[in-house]
Amino acid sequence: RRRRVRNGHRSHRRSFRGPSLPLYLAAPPRFVQRLLDCFPEGANARQETAMLKAGAVGLLAIGGSWYVARRRAKARGFQAPRIPSSDTQLVAEYELTAIDRDESGRVGGITTFDAVDTGRNCSFEELMQREDTVLYTYDLRQRILIFMTVPDKTALWKEPFLDRGVRKLASKIIFVCAFDTATQYLNAHKDALPNPSRDTFLFVWNTGRCGSTLLARLTTATSDSVTLSEPWWVDQLGRDKKVLEAHPATMDQLVRLLHVVDFHLARTLVRAATGKVLYSLNPKGSASFLREPALRVFPEAKHLFMFRDQIKVVESFGSILTTPSPFNTPLGMAQMAVDKLIGGPQAPSPRASSPVSRQLGAMQGDLKLPSKMMVRMMGLMWTDAMMSWIEFAEEHKNLEVLTLRMDEFVTKDVAKREAVVKAVLDFAQVSYSAPGALDRAMTVFNTHSQAGSAMEKSSAKTGKKFLTEQDVHELHALCAQLPQIGKPSFVIPGSLGT
């Protein structure tokens, strides 16, 4: 054993290092060194040092245990101590005590807030008439729906994305009810609620970063329409995908509840509407798993798919996701790694387990993938979205579908763009014959649809490129291995305007 010389004296102290402990128990080196500096150096130094080290390890173990317990409790999230029985048709009121208002979009659901029971109730019917309430999420284990209130619903709908917009603007009061409470209400009030046989239900599937948010702005500007843009409950369905696939009846119940209830609550934005209303869902690019359940529950709905060149999608996503945030700092990455080990709230979601595309799933094990994790992940997400849509359209040839590439949607050729806009509005059964309607539609292209949000800060605006030449080469190589795609710039046959 080598001894150090300190101030001309040999020391029996050995370095005390963290790696022999789990990561979450490793203390900062400066703290440990200060602790060691206090160790004795007399005749009984070895014995006393051993005792002090044992005490230090004990303190660190206690601190580590406390940290693990705290992170696991946060991962469990909000637990409702009181859930009124469905027989009462009541909804429990709670008051928020904490909420994460981070706008990165990487957090959500019951792990982002906590609340205390106020002891008050209201009926589910009263809840459905409120103008300040939206459906935020659900919890499968507790079988509850969770509603949040906002001071200004119009301001909320100006936010590009509901998953982070709701948390950003949430007021103190939230509501909780059982799944069965909502189901019973929906069964008893079918004629008064959004209905695809009377209204238009439109699903806007996409690859991400392809203009779907702009499309939502377009339909809102020209019609009595309600668009749910990336609500968190869609992400939650993705997280629960494996469980729900084993219980399709529960999946279908949730798909019906979540859509109809949230559509109805959002309808307060167009109270003056007297005729047909357009209800649209614009989820993230990873939501292809929801397509078949949505078709089962709403067979009359229309389906539109938006896409863009793979290189441009990955570049846009990558340049946004690598901008400085609490999640991609060394400390943030370390916390995510620790959460993965201990079951903390930032542990990776099990959502991305297998592709939705059956053909991609059969080939994935044999594919040579991009070397960088983020490029690989986003490249596969794009590929899965494209291939699963092609398979869906081929399997349901009698279904009304429309495929739209971003290039045609935002072309600088105004005449071509107007023709595409008219075709999209015709598909969505939105009339633009009223004076000024088409002008309002074309005006939305003058403003960035995600202005003011973190998603606006892609490399197209900052000039800081994410992809290297090697990354681009590897994405081309990925597509070349897939006969259905061939290249990143692949255009789906029959796409509008191509």
DSSP label at residue 302: E
Query: Could you tell me the strand order of the sheet in which 225-229 lies?
Result: 225-229, 278-282, 200-206, 302-307, 401-405
| Residue 291: HSE in the Cβ half-sphere, 13 Å Cα cutoff | 28
Provide the pLDDT for residue 449: 65
Whole-structure pTM value: 0.85
pLDDT of residue 72: 83
Average pLDDT in the 71-99 region? 94
CA distance 267 to 65: 48
Task: Tokens for 293, please give them.
Answer: 């359940």
**Average pLDDT of the chain, as a whole number:** 88
Strands (E), 12-124: 90-99, 113-123
Kindly give the residue spans of alpha helices, DSSP state H, lying in 240-309. 241-245, 248-266, 291-297
> HSE (CB half, 13 Å, CA atoms) of 43?
0
First-to-final CA distance of the chain: 75
205 C-beta neighbours (distance < 10 Å), count: 25
pLDDT in tens, 465-480: 999 999 999 999 999 9
pLDDT at 427 over 50: yes
Task: Average the pLDDT over 441-454 and give the result.
Answer: 76
pLDDT in tens, 150-199: 999 999 999 999 999 999 999 999 999 999 999 999 999 999 999 999 99
Q: Among 102-116, 129-143, 167-181, whose mean pLDDT is lowest?
A: 102-116
Averaged pLDDT, 416-434: 96
4 has pLDDT over 70: no
Whether 416 contacts 317, CB under 8 Å: no
Kindly give, in sequence order, each residue whose CB lies less than 8 Å from that of residue 493, ignoring residues fewer than 6 positions away.
Answer: none
Per-residue pLDDT tens over the stretch 113-128 = 999 999 999 999 999 9
Can you give the pLDDT at residue 350?
56
- CA atoms 27, 31, 32, 38: torsion sign: negative
Task: Name residue 350's amino acid.
Answer: P
Residue 128 · residue 265 · CB < 8 Å: yes
DSSP 216: H
Average pLDDT over residues 330-352: 74
pLDDT at 173: 98
Whether the pLDDT of residue 7 is over 50: the answer is no
Selected residue with higher pLDDT from 62 and 90: 90
Name the residue among 352, 351, 332, 346 with its Cα closest to residue 72.
Answer: 346
Looking at the predicted structure, is the pLDDT value of residue 447 above 80?
Answer: yes
Instruction: Provide the pLDDT for residue 281.
Output: 98
